[in-house]
A and B are shown apart, each in its own frame.
Chain A
């Protein structure tokens, strides 16, 4: 991670640690259950959650897997993760502070290696995926969950997201994620998609855009109602603007 990007990530995620950890979309139990089930996790699995943030997914995996490791670069996020682990009384999780390239683990150390809502923050997502493959056991699962806008709307989506979160790099359409999996030597992934539902003002309250950018984002959402130019399913409802971010879950078994 280059230093300016690392600083941006640390700045954004130190500020986001509180709001992010209580975000309804991020804590969505149904979505968490879907990710855990899609990953095929069971009692024999050892799981690595790459860029684990406040540990919500790691804790969901810990309920079914033998052991979960969460790694993140932002100490404030790891503080949240540990608090959640204590709240849920889960003992089979360990946390490390670290970067994603290189990951500080031996090859083939985990049977499931997953990353959720992080790939759009990586300057070199291909390198991160290759690291995830390296630390995954043969026949283990490599899973990526991320915003995945339609190809023809990805530029608009990414412009909006970069305003909302200056540490955003680029969310990739599903087609690009498939290419990334192939380039990392993985078989074609199983895929499913869902919409991460929420309300615009709540989203902005949990975000830290630059001065004046919140109004620009509001205008982009309003323009997207009807046209869906942002691919966020923006619609007016009871005086608010609701959205559904496009999310893809892609899982491949390492050969």
Chain B
């Protein structure tokens, strides 16, 4: 199931409170500010700062 577009209107990076966008063929969410990438596991975004990777 794809991530609900409406979800992207409310979901923010927990670190920066700035927008996250779908990346990696819709399998992760990336913050443009801190470059953290939050995985989407079994369709559920994992919005944990310490489980995110930082990717330029």
Contact = CB atoms under 8 A, between A and B. Distances in A.
* A and B are interacting partners: yes
Contact of A95 (B6, B10, B44): B44
Contacts of A69: 7, 10
A105 interface: yes
19 contacts: A71-B47, A75-B44, A94-B4, A94-B7, A95-B44, A96-B11, A96-B44, A96-B45, A96-B47, A97-B45, A97-B46, A97-B48, A98-B47, A99-B47, A102-B17, A103-B14, A105-B11, A105-B12, A106-B11
A98 B4 contact: no
Q: Which of under 10, 10 to 19, 20 to 34, or 35 or more describes the interface residues of B? A: 10 to 19
By size class, the interface of chain A is 20 to 34
Contacts, number: 53
B14 A102 contact: yes
Nearest to A3: B50
A251 interface: no
Interface in A30-73: 46, 67, 69, 71, 73
A17 interface: no
A102 B34 CA distance: 15
B28 interface: no
A69 B11 CA distance: 10
Nearest to B4: A94
Contacts of B44: 75, 78, 82, 95-97
Interface in A107-124: 107, 109-110
A187 interface: no
Contact of A98 (B7, B10, B41, B46): B46
Given A97-B48, A98-B47, A99-B48, A104 B13 contact: yes
